[in-house]
Structure 1
Amino acid sequence: MPPISLSSPTRRELLAATAAAGAIGMLGTRSAAAKGDGFNPFSVSFPEEQLVDLRRRVAATRWPDQETVADDTQGVRLSTIQKLAKHWATDYDWQKMQVRLSALPQFITEIDGLDIHFIHVRSKHQNALPVIITHGWPGSIIEQLKIIEPLTDPTAHGGSEADAFDVVIPSLPGYGFSGKPTAPGWNPVRIARAWVTLMQRLGYTKFVAQGGDWGNAVTELMALQEPPGLLAIHTNMAATVPADIAKALASGGPPPASLSPDEKRAWDQLADFYKNGLGYAIEMNNRPQTLYGIVDSPVGLAAWMLDHDIRSYQMIARVFDDKPEGLTKDDILDNVTLYWLTNTAISSARLYWDNAHFPTGGFFDPRGIKIPVAVSAFPDEIYAAPKSWAEQAYPKLIHYNKLDKGGHFAAWEQPAAFTAELRTAFRSVRQ
């Protein structure tokens, strides 16, 4: 059955009218979300004095001593963060991103008592497939901006009309322009329910979902809930680690001798991440409110966000050594600046605490999803899920591809490859 887009003329007219209404909401002086099932248009605007204060704080950073090793084992290197700070204070221009964001149709709606912000771009093609795409931490809606046009206007980007998507990109609760929860409990299960409500409220009766990082957890939990109309999901950070592998990793023992080369590489990636890369998650799981320093210091915030996983960090370090690959200096600072201006360093971190106190299972544990699933395995992800593990985790695996390039922020780093993956992944569910 072909996907059904917004079919009600009154709803279509409402969304067209709100998209044209312009800027009535802005952070700091944002209007309240529409009550009930309504939408308020939203645009991005920050006072110049906030940007002046940001540059002042960056310039006034109190620097620590240099690391005592000649590698990355002690964390973000002083030379890297000082290069970032210099660019931030002298060359970076947030207004370019603000203009880019303001050109997109954005809305606020209230779901389960919380303001939810989302981008909603409809394709000009009549039978476009609706997709809701969810970011993670330390990401934001900025991760997905490069894929909006190729997905919604495929004929202008190497595709055919049959590849068209309507794209919905929400900000997670506590992130970006969404509301900040004032009580605990906004874990991935609750967010997944909210996303289903959002798609239904937009009038979509058939849709697909995509996510990586927290976005994967939310998307897989949407699939577990099996809401009417969710046809399939796609993940670029699949949860596929078999129970015996997870147990062996937790014990710190050697890898099983029976692992294939792809499985052994995934083991090595996971073992390294669990040993050296989980510091940020442990703190945010246990004590997110303690992170006052990253609310007060923009450079502290940037360093905290850069030190997510070693391959992403090393790629970003190369960017600030003037060796860009996928991301530019401004790309990186667009995302950090959004966290700074929205003051969401701690409110975003609380998602880890909520997940720990209202648990939804291990981050990489298979969840028993019954609906169709597509997997794209990028080599520099926290771990590249082997096809053998994906086949075990997802009985209805409709697509698997191991890519040659790309890491944790796949849509942001490799938008052309990511777009191609989504087109291929969901082709079979359009019939």
Structure 2
Amino acid sequence: MNVTPFQITIPDTALHDLHERLSRVRWPQCVADLGWREGTDEAFLKRLVDYWQNGFDWRTQESRLNALPQFTTRIDDRTIHFVHARGKGPAPLPLILTHGWPGSFIEMEAIIPLLADPASHGGDPRDAFDVVVPSLPGYGFSSAPSTPGTGPSEVARVWAALMEGLGYGRYGVQGGDWGAAVSTWLAFQNPENVAGLHLNYIPGSYRPPLDGGEAPPSPEETQFLDTAKAWADAEGGYAHVQGTKPQTLAFGLNDSPAGLAAWIAEKFYSWSDNGGDLEKAISLDALLTNISIYWFTGTIGSSFRMYLESRRRPVHFTSGQRVLPPTGIAAYPRELPLPPRSWIERVYNVQRWTTMPRGGHFAAMETPHELADELRTFFRPLR
């Protein structure tokens, strides 16, 4: 596999175009004092857009990101962008971390050095990992699919080829959001290669078999299914649009940076453990760096395709199918609805379940040290 070093180099013309667009946002009329109840808070978004135009320094963020060891390669006629940080220890375990939506590879920025070089961060060098963080196809600097058919299951096959091409025959996998779906398929399809599977989210489309003589849902499991349905009814409009008519939405968000910021910021607010103040969980610089990657690469539309493709092939299992590698679950208090352990154990080989003290959907961004400790502990006996 040919691997090419990569650096982010956004042209000045793109920066000028962004600033010009931000200078002439056409704001809608809003009902006063709604806050975040009906979507993105007007006052917050106006402050965010003003900071994006007048305070945020993309070049500083770009330079910082370029300190990460980034590369690209070609797999199945597509360009895959990834970070590959070699571990500093006697026998680093390869570990592939997969981000989700509306995140990007920068979700893992803070946790990469904690995992690759634990000794420099108060840990044991024997817990070091060779950390691989790819960008999902159609996200950021990985090329977008040009034809239908690239969902989590297909991405898992690309990740298996990536790890094989990097020389790794045995490795750990970890993910949340779409990363949980990709990681689940990766472990299911390659049990002989995956040393362990760690998740901080269970794919929303996950369904264990119930038609092959399996026990019917317990009262606790039924309550979870009701909770998940209620959450989808109240909060899942974004997923329904992105999974059914993504192209219509993409035209607007790809043309308006303020619209893009509103669409993404609302999810970071709703899904993080912030106590009503987004900046307690995610800084404006981190939020805008992530949004800027979508903007400069024009990939908000292609990022939606994961929703469409997952509807065509959800994370459903049939009778007798199991995800065999040992599985660890980190349960965060502000995560989206998480199934009870019994529902997960119908398919996954759950060996560790940790109730985390704080954090939400963006675990690696919100609580990188706690998640790093959890991953070291889970993978320690699996090395």
TM-score of the superposition, structure 2-length normalised? 0.90
User: Which residue of the other structure, out of 291, 299, 322, is the alignment partner of 1:368?
Assistant: 322
Q: Quick check: 1:107 aligned with 2:71? A: yes
String of CA shifts for 1:258-312, please: whole Å, max 9, x gaps.
Answer: 439xx96x56752442112111111111111112110010010111112337632
1:158-215 per-position Cα deviation (integer Å, ceiling 9, x unaligned): 2101211010000000001011111111111110000001001000121010111110
- 1:325 to 1:242, Cα distance in 2 relative to 1, 3 A: same
Name the structure 1 match of 2:380: 427
User: 1:11 is matched with which residue?
Assistant: none
Whether the 8 Å contact between 1:67 and 1:78 is mirrored in structure 2 is no
Distance 1:195 1:257, change over 3 A: closer
Q: Which residue of 2 aligns with 1:413?
A: 366
| Coordinate RMSD, CA, aligned | 2.7
3-state SS of paired residue (1:259): helix
Q: In structure 2, what is the equivalent of residue 345 of structure 1?
A: 300
SS of the residue corresponding to residue 13 of structure 2 reads helix
**Structure 2 CA distance, aligned partners of 1:257 and 1:172?**
36
2:124 aligned to which of 151, 156, 160: 160
Q: Secondary structure at the match of 2:74?
A: strand
- How is 1:19-418 mapped onto 2 (pairs within 5 angstroms)? 37-67=1-31, 70-239=34-203, 258-259=219-220, 270-291=228-249, 292-308=251-267, 311-312=270-271, 315=274, 318-319=277-278, 324-357=279-312, 359-361=313-315, 368-394=322-348, 396-418=349-371
TM-score by length of 1: 0.81
The DSSP-based 3-state class of the residue aligned with 2:274 is helix
* Amino acid of the structure 2 residue aligned with 1:375: I
CA distance in 2, matches of 1:150, 1:225: 29
Shift of 1:126: 3.0
Change (3 A) 1:144 1:46: same
One-letter identity of the residue aligned with 1:123: G
- How much does 1:336 deviate? 0.4
**CA–CA separation in structure 1 for the residues paired with 2:374 and 2:39:** 33
Contact 1:67 1:77 in 2 (8 A): no
Letter in 1 for 2:231: F
Deviation at 1:414, TM superposition (A): 0.7
- Say which is worse superposed, 81-90 or 189-198, in terms of deviation: 81-90
* Whole-angstrom distance in 2 between the partners of 1:62 and 1:361: 41
**Cα deviation per residue 1:210-264 (whole Å; 9 max; x = unaligned)?**
11111000000011102532111100002499969x9xxxxxxxxx99439xx96
Query: How far apart in 1 are the matches of 2:302 and 2:285?
Result: 24
Pair 317,175 (structure 1): closer, same or farther in 2 beyond 3 Å: farther
TM-superposed CA distance for 1:147, in Å, is 0.3
Contact 1:173 1:181 survives alignment (8 Å): yes
Question: Deviation digits for residues 310-342 of structure 1, max 9, x if unmatched?
Answer: 6327839613xxxx3232111111100110011
Distance 1:313 1:375 in 2: 18
Distance change in 2, residues 1:330/1:309 (3 Å): closer
Amino acid at match of 1:373: T
Answer yes or no: is the 8 Å Cα contact 2:104–2:290 preserved in 1: yes
Check conservation: 2:112, 2:131, Cα contact below 8 A. Answer: yes
User: 3-state SS of the aligned residue for 1:315?
Assistant: coil
Please give the alpha-carbon distance, in whole angstroms, between the structure 2 residues aligned to 1:270 and 1:278: 10
**Distance of aligned partners of 1:313 and 1:79 in 2 relative to their CA distance in 1, 3 Å threshold:** farther
Moved more, 345-354 or 146-155: 345-354
Q: Amino acid of the residue matched to residue 218 of structure 1?
A: V
- Could you tell which deviates more after superposition, 367-376 or 161-170? 367-376
Distance 2:134 2:206 in 1: 31
Q: Select between 297-306 and 272-281 the one with higher mean Cα deviation.
A: 272-281
CA distance in 2, matches of 1:371, 1:257: 25
Q: Distance in 1 between matches of 2:322 and 2:204?
A: 10
**Structure 1 residues 56 and 309: alpha-carbon distance in aligned structure 2, compared to 1, 3 A threshold:** closer
Q: Taking structure 1 as reference, are residues 45 and 188 closer, same or farther at Cα in structure 2, changes over 3 Å only?
A: same
Q: Deviations over 1:74-132 (max 9, x none)?
A: 21121121121111111111112211121121111111111111100001213001000
8 A Cα contact 1:315 1:325, kept in partner: yes
Question: What secondary structure sits across from 2:187 in the alignment?
Answer: helix
SS in 2 for 1:374: strand
| Identity across matched positions, percent | 39
CA contact (8 A) 1:130 1:167 kept: yes
Residue 10 of structure 1 is matched in structure 2 by: none
Report which stretch shifted further, 374-383 or 67-76. 67-76
Q: Is the 8 A contact 2:98 2:182 kept in 1?
A: yes
Taking a change above 3 Å as real, the CA distance of residues 290 and 316 of structure 1, as seen in their structure-2 partners, is: farther
Q: Which moved more, 1:378-387 or 1:274-283?
A: 378-387
User: What 5-or-longer segments of structure 1 have no aligned partner?
Assistant: 1-36, 247-255
